[in-house]
Amino acid sequence: MSIQSYLTRCGLQPEAFDAGFYQVVAQYQQQLLTLPPADSVQWQFRVPELGEGGSCSLFGQLAEQPYDLTPILGGQTDANQQLLARVTAVVQFYQQHSASHWFGVYQRRMNPNGEPVLVKLAYFGAESRAEFPLTTEFAAISNNSTVGLSGHGRIINDVAAYLAQGGEYYTCDPKVQAEACLPLLDSHGNVSGIIDSEAFVQNIFTGKELALLIAVAMTLPALLA
C-alpha cells in the first residue's frame, strides 16, 4: 500500500502533505523494516482499576492483578514471543525518535469471552487499559475503538478544544493535551489493529512527528500477520 493510499483509507487528505513529508515517511519506513527484534518483552503489565461497569479506568489506581497476554495470544509460544519482540522493537524505535509521552500498539483479537477487542501488545508511558471493546457503544467514548471499527484516523492536537466541541474522548491520563490514533491496515485494507500516541503538549502531531507515526502504522501490519 502506498503512503497516499494509506492516507486516503484513513480519511486523511494526501494532497495536504508535500513531497518532503512523503520522503520523511519513506525514510522512517526503511529504518523500521531493518530493526532487529527486541531482546526482551513483557507478557504482563500493570493496568488501572476499571470503574463501575468497566467503562472507564480509574487513573492512579492500579488493579491488584496485572494483565496477562498469554490467554488472548493463545499461549507463550515461540511465534508469539517473536511477535512481541518485533512489536516491542518498533515501540522502542518510536520512543527514541518521538517527543510523545505515551505510545501503544494494539492488535485486533477475540478475547477469551469471544468478544472482539483491541489488545495492547507493547507500549511505553504510564499504565493504561489493556483491552478496548470493539463495539459501537464503547466507540461513543473512545477514539481507539472508533478507529478500530472505522479504519479512519483521529489526530487531535488540542484535546480541550476537541472536548469543548462535543468530541467523544476516553480520558486515561488528564495530562494528555494531544492524541493521534491511526489504524493498522492489512493487505486488503481491513483493520488489524491501531496505534495510539499521546502527548502532554498541544500541536505535536504535525510534520516529522506525524510522518514518524504514519511510517510506524504502515510498517506494523506485516509484523502482526
Cα–Cα distance measured from residue 137 to residue 141, given in angstroms and rounded to the nearest whole number? 8
Instruction: Judge residue 193's burial from the number of C-beta atoms within 10 Å of its C-beta, 0-12 exposed, 13-18 middle, 19 or more buried.
Output: buried
Provide the pLDDT for residue 184: 97
Phi, psi of 193 (to 5 degrees): 170, -165
pLDDT band at 181, cuts 50/70/90? very high
Provide the pLDDT for residue 225: 80
pLDDT band at 58, cuts 50/70/90? low
Residue 25 has pLDDT above 90, yes or no: yes
**Residue range(s) defining the domain that contains residue 102:** 3-224
- Burial per residue of 25-49, b for 16 or more beta-carbon CB atoms within 10 angstroms, e otherwise: beebbeebeeeebbeebeeeeebbe
Q: Centre a 10 Å sphere on the Cβ of residue 61 and count the other Cβ atoms it contains.
A: 11
Provide the pLDDT for residue 224: 87
> What is the pLDDT averaged over residues 131-148?
90
Cα–Cα distance measured from residue 67 to residue 72, given in angstroms and rounded to the nearest whole number? 11
Q: Locate 1 and state its grid cell.
A: 500500500
Q: What CATH code is carried by the domain that includes residue 54?
A: 3.30.450.40
Provide the pLDDT for residue 44: 96
Provide the pLDDT for residue 140: 84
The better pLDDT of the pair 50, 20 is held by: 20
- How many domains are there within the chain? 1
